[in-house]
A and B are shown apart, each in its own frame.
Chain A
Amino acid sequence: SQELEQSPQSLIVQEGKNLTINCTSSKTLYGLYWYKQKYGEGLIFLMMLQKGGEEKSHEKITAKLDEKKQQSSLHITASQPSHAGIYLCGADINNFNKFYFGSGTKLNVKP
């Protein structure tokens, strides 16, 4: 959506390398969610960030929400082929009842 910009659109990395995906909004985020999707399937929840400056980690994936709550990054350390998929950020913007997603970042990890 135009409300959330994700970069890069696609990424190919060698197994073992680190990578970062960014998600930016021009408006205040009232909750930022990261999901992973495999082609043709539903979304799998990864992490949720709500407070400015918050950082969460799960296994080798770390997500941060900046102080102004307008940008988030997802960092994968020592990538593995199992990390391949489409990463999507989603957010409740302006505290309304709608929910927006970015257009996704397609990640390929070469063995």
Chain B
Amino acid sequence: DTGVSQNPRHKITKRGQNVTFRCDPISEHNRLYWYRQTLGQGPEFLTYFQNEAQLEKSRLLSDRFSAERPKGSFSTLEIQRTEQGDSAMYLCASSLYRGDEQFFGPGTRLTVL
């Protein structure tokens, strides 16, 4: 297993467009997390899944954001009607159990023009 992968690595889009990111966790990891990180800040929690169930969502996750994890494997994060304030690095992480260390992917850098 090569770790957590994220695609695309970079995305440039125009304001108002929809974007979708994909995260492939380490196989057999039950928990999957999404974070957003802006320059000079630590990652901010967005949401997490236990298998296919989305168990927690941050208030940062407005109704323009939606995340899915069908079949408890890969996950997608969609942002509708992007705004310039959405420009950030979007990080995905997975862990086997609660309390275990989270393994992070390389991130998807989003730029909204």
Size band of the B side of the interface?
A: 20 to 34
Question: Knowing A1-B42, A50-B99, A97-B48 touch, does A40 contact B91 (C-beta < 8 A)?
Answer: no
Which segment, of B63-71, B78-86, B104-112, faces chain A?
B104-112
Instruction: Verify A33–B101 contact, CB threshold 8 A.
Output: yes
Docked complex Cα distance between A41 and B91 (Å): 9
| A-side contacts of B105, CB under 8 Å | 42
9-residue interface stretch from A12-20, A59-67, A99-107:
A99-107
CA A48 to CA B96, docked complex, whole Å: 15
Residues on A with C-beta less than 8 A from B48 are 97-99
CB of A88 closer than 8 Å to a CB of B? yes
Q: Does the CB pair B89–A40 fall under 8 Å? A: yes
Is there an interface contact between A41 and B42, defined as CB atoms closer than 8 Å?
no
- Among B43, B98, B103, B107, the most chain A Cβ lie within 10 Å of the Cβ of B43
Q: How far is the CB of A71 from chain B (nearest CB, A)?
A: 17
Query: A31 contacts B99, CB within 8 Å?
Result: yes
A43 CB-CB contact with B under 8 Å: yes
With the chains together, A98 CA to B61 CA distance in Å? Answer: 13
B33 at the interface (CB under 8 A from A): yes
* Beta-carbon contact of A88 and B42 below 8 Å: yes
Residues of B within 8 A of A (CB): 4, 33, 35, 40-45, 48, 55-56, 58, 89, 91, 93, 98-99, 101-107, 109
Q: Nearest 3 A-B pairs (CB), nearest first? A: A101-B42, A42-B104, A97-B56
Q: Other CB < 8 Å A-B pairs besides A45-B102, A45-B103, A99-B33, 14 of them? A: A1-B44, A33-B101, A40-B107, A40-B109, A41-B106, A41-B107, A42-B107, A43-B104, A90-B43, A98-B56, A99-B102, A101-B42, A103-B40, A104-B40
